[in-house]
Amino acid sequence: EVMGSLFKVNSEDEFIKWAAKKGDKFLLAEKADGCTIVAYYEQGKLVTLATRGDGVTGEDITTNARYFENVRLKLPIAFSGTLRGEGIIYSDRFEQHFAPLGMANPRNAASGKARDTKNPELKRYITVKWFDVLTNDRTFATWEEKFSFIENLDLEPIPYRKELSSKEVWKVYEEYVKHSRKKLNYWIDGLVCRISNM
């Protein structure tokens, strides 16, 4: 599965024009800024954990999986498929444990530590927030179903809001720009709007 880039909009007019062609209900989620991580499970057991790499070929980091705060080596159900998420380091943890080591920011620290073969004690500060699930075992009619399924796997999805109209999406976006983003304890580099209907 190729992990490509997202289409970006920078104004309300651009967004409304895009949304008008796509539907009337949307799911809005934070776009966490860290290290993109892909997890492959077979019958509920973690087989491979990898970075996004160049979008086609990732780097195998399975040996680090047991250190990350909330990556499950075994899921509560016999799920076979792929999960995609973002490995982040909370800002307060970065200031306490990584900044004193001369690391520049939480994004670089997450990316470096996720792939590092040393310092297991620092890897436990990486938290993964999941944003997609792919499987041949079942079909999903909406993005809401995907996010609910992630929660049913006892995993933490990226914060999201569902069943929003295009006007509500833009209102939430403006709220993030003015207030919400600066209150977060982790970095985001925007919001991702998905057409609810798969």
Question: pTM of the predicted model, to two decimals?
Answer: 0.90
- The DSSP bridge partners found for residue 81 are 41
Strand 45-51 with 35-42, pairing:
antiparallel
pLDDT score at 118: 80
Residue 161 has pLDDT above 80, yes or no: yes
Say if residues 128 and 86 touch (Cβ distance below 8 Å): yes
Distance between CA 11 and CA 32 in Å, rounded? 21
Q: Please say if 31 is a catalytic residue.
A: yes
Of the candidates 31, 74, 171, 178, the residue annotated as catalytic is 31
Q: For the segment 88-139, what is each residue's pLDDT rounded down to a tens digit?
A: 999 999 999 999 999 999 999 999 999 888 888 899 999 999 999 999 999 9
Say if residues 87 and 126 touch (Cβ distance below 8 Å): yes
Chain position carrying tokens 């580099």: 189
> CB neighbours of 105 closer than 8 A, spacing ≥ 6?
94, 187
Residue 1 has pLDDT above 60, yes or no: no
Residue 15 has pLDDT above 90, yes or no: yes
Q: For the segment 50-80, what is each residue's pLDDT rounded down to a tens digit?
A: 997 665 667 899 999 899 999 999 999 999 9
Chain centre distance of CA 178 = 22
Q: For the segment 137-155, what is each residue's pLDDT rounded down to a tens digit?
A: 999 999 999 999 999 999 9
